[in-house]
């Protein structure tokens, strides 16, 4: 049993020393069918100052998440009515970009990759320590927040993305991007003119600090190029053989 995980002999989560005083509390939606587990998680996050609302099946979670009222979602993968992965995929298909931390007992490599490529921003395997849960929730909300002084838009040539609305346009025409495609394009634009490696993309776009030996980068890059470069000139996304990728005009 991992420290802090609810179970026989383990106390209710109490006020703790994990909190970073610089973190801003947010409104969270917790979608977890085990009510006892949900209560422990909600209390741990509540101790951090977050406001936590609970629902206990995927269909209710999807309906509530569509409101756009939450700073992040914490979603169990195995849920009644609608599983957590389908919930996240549906939200992304509808254009919702709320950060999602997925909880699961499915800790295999393929399961983690599937969760991340399905639209989750992070993936935490049960049982876990409350300290790690809190750190991961704070991390995904921090990444989603727009820091004062940062640009609202990024662009190259006639391509532009809006970091607040999470939209993309090229030549004045809207480009429909999935959540991971937008994150991939944002990273390329933030590093425009610089070669980024596969390892850099896995770490900074997918939060994978290891190489899963799948074609997740290549698949998403191919889809992104088909949307950003097809029918437009000049081509912006280039493969640098043996090195990685670069976004540049010409």
- Among candidate residues 144, 176, 211, the one where a domain is terminated: 144
CATH of the domain at 232: 1.10.10.10
**Residue 12: what pLDDT?**
45
pTM higher than the cut 0.85: no
Distance from C-alpha of 26 to C-alpha of 52, rounded to nearest angstrom: 8
Asked, for residue 133, whether it belongs to a domain, the answer is: yes
**Residue 10: what pLDDT?**
38
Backbone angles phi, psi at 19, to 5 degrees: -65, 130
**Residue 90: what pLDDT?**
93
Backbone angles phi, psi at 3, to 5 degrees: -55, 130
Supply 44's token pair. Answer: 């741990």
**Residue 140: what pLDDT?**
84
Beta strands 100-104 and 122-125: pairing type? parallel
Q: Do residues 140 and 91 both lie within one domain?
A: yes
Among all chains, which residue has been given the structure tokens 């040539």?
Answer: 157
Distance from C-alpha of 216 to C-alpha of 136, rounded to nearest angstrom: 22
Q: Do residues 236 and 135 both lie within one domain?
A: no
Asked, for residue 82, whether it belongs to a domain, the answer is: yes
Asked, for residue 2, whether it belongs to a domain, the answer is: no
Domain count, the chain: 2
Point out the residues of the chain with pLDDT beneath 70.
1-24, 143-151, 250
**Residue 42: what pLDDT?**
94
Instruction: State which residues form the domain around 196.
Output: 153-247
CATH of the domain at 91: 3.40.50.2300
Distance from C-alpha of 44 to C-alpha of 35, rounded to nearest angstrom: 14
Asked, for residue 10, whether it belongs to a domain, the answer is: no
Q: Do residues 84 and 126 both lie within one domain?
A: yes
Supply 67's token pair. Answer: 């409101």
Q: Do residues 120 and 215 both lie within one domain?
A: no
At 93-104, the pLDDT tens digits run 888 888 999 998
């Amino acid at each position: 049993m991992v420290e802090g995980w609810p179970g026989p002999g383990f106390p209710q989560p109490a006020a703790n020393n994990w909190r970073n005083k610089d973190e801003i509390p947010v409104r969270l939606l917790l979608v977890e069918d085990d009510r006892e587990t949900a209560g422990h998680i909600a209390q741990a996050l509540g101790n951090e100052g977050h406001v936590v609302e609970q629902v206990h099946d995927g269909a209710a979670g999807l309906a509530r998440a569509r409101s756009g009222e939450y700073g992040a979602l914490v979603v169990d993968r195995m849920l009644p009515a609608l599983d957590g992965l389908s919930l996240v995929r549906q939200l992304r298909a509808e254009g919702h970009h709320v950060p999602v931390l997925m909880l699961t007992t499915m800790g295999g490599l393929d399961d983690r990759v599937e969760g991340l490529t399905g639209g989750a921003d992070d993936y935490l395997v049960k049982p876990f320590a409350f300290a790690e849960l809190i750190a991961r929730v704070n991390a995904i909300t921090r990444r989603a927040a727009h820091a004062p002084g940062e640009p609202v838009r990024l662009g190259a040539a006639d391509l532009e993305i809006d970091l607040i609305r999470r939209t993309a346009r090229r030549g004045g025409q809207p480009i429909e991007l999935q959540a991971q495609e937008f994150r991939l394009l944002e990273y390329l634009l933030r590093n425009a003119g610089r070669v980024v490696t596969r390892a850099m993309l896995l770490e900074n776009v997918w939060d994978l600090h290891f190489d899963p030996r799948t074609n997740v980068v290549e698949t998403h890059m191919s889809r992104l190029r088909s949307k950003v470069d097809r029918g437009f000139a000049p081509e912006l996304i280039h493969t640098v053989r043996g090195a990685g990728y670069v976004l540049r005009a010409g």
